[in-house]
Amino acid sequence: MLGISKYKKLKKLSDKQTSALVASATKAVSTGGGKTIDVIYCHCCNLPVFEDDAFIGQTEDSADAKILCGLCYYPRNLDMVRFSDSGTLIFAPDLTQTQVSSLALVMYYAKSLASESQDMMDLISDVEDLILRRSEVLNTGICHGASTPSIVCQFMYMMDESDYEERGKLFDSVRLFPSEKLASRQLAYLSTNVLKKYHPDKWGGFVQAMGKQIKASSI
């Protein structure tokens, strides 16, 4: 669920506890020739975590400390975003935050392939319009500005702790659709290691399927 760091109850970890937590998120990855490197993975979405994008935080399913990537940490700690363009908030009761972040990554990657295909650009534009509609639901259903992360962050800061604990009444169905800047590190990894294995011709179908799912869920 969306949140801020103000009322987090995560206890400060000792150096030993921090080392153990990092070790629990670290896997040996083969680089070929019998060699391996240690890579830290997000406990929430299982994407690689880069040293300058690794956070210790919590998720809704447990009060225990976890290693989180930026895409999983920032929605739960909106006040910790380091730049102004973090993305937009959308109404998505049918999707988890991880699913919304994954949707954004796929869309941004498909967009990078679509520069010479007008059909693909049109498909992506349709998906962007559907995302915008989900964003506008918040502005009309809650209040103007409810789709802007910085405004919602300020609103949460004005809550006392008891009201903050009840924020789910307003924000339980709200997710952060991350900006391309916020997703840049994960996007760079997926573009060179995972997504490139799919032939470019398939991306039109992927984008169409995404659009149909979003549209169906909005009805």
- Residue 202: per-residue pLDDT: 64
- AA identity, residue 81: V
- Residue 200: per-residue pLDDT: 57
Integer Cα distance of 135 and 131 in angstroms: 6
- Residue 189: per-residue pLDDT: 84
Helices (H), the chain: 15-24, 70-73, 97-113, 118-141, 149-158, 161-165, 168-171, 184-193, 203-218
Q: Is 44:66 a contact under the CB 8 Å cutoff?
A: yes
pTM here is: 0.86
- What is the rounded end-to-end Cα distance, in angstroms, of the chain? 23
Integer Cα distance of 1 and 168 in angstroms: 7
User: Mean pLDDT of residues grouped by 10 in the chain (219 residues)?
Assistant: 91 93 92 87 91 87 91 95 91 91 87 75 83 92 92 96 94 95 89 70 64 61
- Residue 87: per-residue pLDDT: 95
- Residue 201: per-residue pLDDT: 63
> Domain residue spans in the chain?
15-218
